[in-house]
Every structure is written in C-alpha cells, then in structure tokens.
Chain A
Amino acid sequence: MSLQELLQQIVNGLVVGSVYGLVALGYTMVYGIVRLINFAQGALFEAGAYVGVVVFSLLGAFATHQPLIGLLIALILSALLTGGLAYLVERVAYRPLRNAPPLTPLVSSLATFFLIISVIQVITGAQPLNYPQVLSVSPWTIGPITLAPTSLLIAVVAVLLMVGIHFYVQHTKMGKAMRAIAVNRNAAALMGINTTWVVTFTFMLGGALAAVAGVLFGVDYGTVTYNMGEFYGLVAFTAAVLGGIGNVPGALLGGLTVGVLSSFATIFLPNQWQEAIVFAILILVLAVRPQGILGERVAERA
C-alpha cells in the first residue's frame, strides 16, 4: 500500500462519509427528541434516491444541458416529496403509538421500513436504476490524488447542509423548541410549545435530509438498488451511534469516520468485507462506548 493509495482512500471516504452523515443526522435528531430509532430513515434515504431518478428522467435533455440546475431541482423536489412521505409515516405509524410501550413504535418503524422498501421493489421490479452523469468534467489531479468535481460538490453540499442544521438547531426558535423537547417533553408542552408539531417537523426534516443524501449518493455511485436502504440505513445508524446519538455535530463526525474506515478496509481486504467492517464498528462501539464519541452518558430510560 502506497501513501498515495492511502490518501486517495481518505478522500473517497470523506466524500461518501459526508453523505452518511446526512442520513445519520435524521436518526440522531429523531432519537434526540422522541427516543425512537427511526428504522424508516434508511427507507426514506432510498425513497429519496428513487425520486431523484424519476426527476432526472423527467427533466431529460434539460438535465444534460444544465446539470447543476437539474441537480438542484432534483434535490429540492426529492427533499419535498420525501419530507411529505416522512410526514405520512409519522402521522400513520408513530403518532398513534406515542403512549404505547417502547417496543411497539420500534416494531412499527421496522414495519414501515419494510413496507417502503417492498413497495419500491415491486414498482421497479428489483431492477437497479442508473443515475445520469451530472458533471462529466474530467477529474482533477491534486498532487498524488484524483478528485472528481462531482465528488467535491457532493461533499460540499452535504457538509454545508449539516453545518446549516447545526445552526438551525442552536439559533432558531424551532431549534430551541426541539432542544427543549429533548430535555423534557412535558415541561416543554407546559411552556406552550406545540410538541406534536415540533416532533412531526423533526421527522420531516430527517426525511428531507435523507432524501438529499439519497440523491447525492445516487449521483456519486451511479446506480440505485431496491435494497440499498437496508445496508446504508444501518451504516448511517452506525455513524449516528459512533458520533453519539442525539448529538448533531456527532452525526457529521461519525459519518466521516465510518466513511474513511470502510474505505480503508478496501485497501487491506476484499471489497465485500466493507459490510463486515461496518457491522464490527457498530458492535464494538455499542459494547465499549454506547454513548459514542461526543455523546454524554445516556441516562437510563424508565
């Protein structure tokens, strides 16, 4: 293994890791507020990627002439539609179970995840779909490494969004309400916060972020498959746990770490070991430091 190869894998890992971070953000925000692992997040990521394919094919020639505007339209439409889907999921599958024992919403989120994935599988006939090449500029060579402009664009968009969300949570009224609910939901409701709406909004935001990540992932990877939500949903969850679940900067950190580690793995090990590495990281983190890198010790739930 040369130094060049190592640097190249770090760069590749950072790009894909920033996409994982976006999905992880959805997990982390929902968990922070309602203490629920939203399994559907992986399916929303996938749904977002598929909406992106549909938008690109509807745009047709326009997307090839104006790739950046095409990408922007795809991102916005996918975020809106998937945010709507997330609203539906919250309304149908979670809200009625708000006072149920903790196992019940977990099972219903699992069922929702499976439902969305199966529907996509039935519609597309389990065939992988291709993403168009957005920027067909030849890759840049910076010193020993090569970097495709598309990859740089993806990483920049993802990181900007994450920084934006961090500021949104820290400095707006809605963000303050989210943080208040995370501390104590009943107290927040007594202070006049519309907790139902804030929770719904958080789900929608998580879905929209997953959709953006899905489109970016599709552009980076070139193809989308009906079961991508299963594995990448788990990768993103690993990222969220690694960074410290409930912690917004932790999602970015966790995403980048998981991305770099799994792309390192491709140097030393055959390609299919990437999956095993992610599972191993997950189990190790949960066993050794369940609160993650940045997380505080998670209080036991009554």
Chain B
Amino acid sequence: MTPFNAIIRRDIRLAIAAGGDLLTLLLFFILVGALMPFAVGPDKALLARIAPGITWVAALLALLLALDRLFKTDAEDGSLRAFRNAAVSMETIVIAKLVAFWLSVMLPLLVAVPVHALLLGMNLETLARMMLALLAGSPGLLALGAIGAAVTVSLRRGGLIAPVLILPLAVPILIFGIGAVAPPPAPGADRAAMLFLTAISLVLVAIAPFAAGLALRMSED
C-alpha cells in the first residue's frame, strides 16, 4: 500500500474506532438546526428562508469542533515527528489526512443535511442545491481549517484559537455557499455563486497542503 493510502486507511480506521465522536458531532450538527425554531419562533416561511444559512453555519461549527483532532493527536503521540522521516513529504501527508478527514467527517455531515431540510422546511430543490453547495464548499472550508489547525498544533489552547483565526477567512465561502442556495436576487446569480464557490474552494485546497505542511514542520521542534 502506498504511504498516501496508508494514511487515509489509518485515519479512517481511527475514525471508526472512535465512532462515538462522529455520532456526537452529527448530533451537534442536527441540534444547531433544531435549536433555530426556538431562537426565531416556529414561523415556517421564515425558517425555510434562513434554512440554508443555518445549515452552513452548523456545518462550519461542526467542522471547527472536529478540527482539533486533525493534527493534534498525531502531534501528541509523536506520529507527527515521525512523519518527518516518512517516505513521502509532509505536503503529501497533509493531503492524505485531509482526504481521510473529509470522508470521515464532512461526508457524514453532508448525509445529515436532509434532517435539517426536514426540521427547517427546505423544499427538495433547495435541499439538492444545499448538498451540492456543501459538496463544492466543504473542501475549501476544510482546507482553511487545516491551516488553522496546523498553525495552532503546538498550542495547548489551540482548540480555542483556531476557530477565531479561521472564521473571518471563511466569509467568502459562506457568502457564495449561501448565494448558491438561496433564491437568486438577480437572474443567474446563483450559478455565478456556485462557480465562485467552487473556484475559491479549489484555490484553498491547492494552498492548504503547503501552508499546513510548512506550519507542521515549524511546529515540531
């Protein structure tokens, strides 16, 4: 097995072994959605209108909660240090870890979106757009998150500071992510938003392995 696949396989095995964490995360994601009717009142029309925003924010918060695990456990048990002498570069390792993280955290969140649709009264078309937008935007969010997690990996309080660093940078993804779902204010705006979302996501995914790899190398001494 190639080193790349070995990392994906190990991280997915670890995620399955710690399956309770994933269930907790999904519960959190759904709870954020379920709390909204209590926060703004059970007005169905209003809820349906703000549902995409709620789902995006819930996904972002769930990601931030889960991100602490991305590099931290490897740093704590010395694996990260041993990665430096692996047969592949740190950048490759970061990409593999991101693929594994996306499959084991973001994909389950995506699957849970229909629960939000049900609770918040999204229609089928909105649900489909929502899932498509999350599919396009979540790699970008994860890429940003990975940079934040890598930069704070050597901090004991990193779990608190990483979200503060990531959230402002996530604004474009949120804007276009919602623009791609919400009813367009101008004709074609939703398609444009979807394209921008995909483009930003791709650029972030291209940058993240280098930025995170560099940060991880600099954190380990």
> Are the chains A and B members of one assembly?
no
B-side interface residues toward A, CB under 8 Å? none
A-side interface residues toward B, CB under 8 Å? none
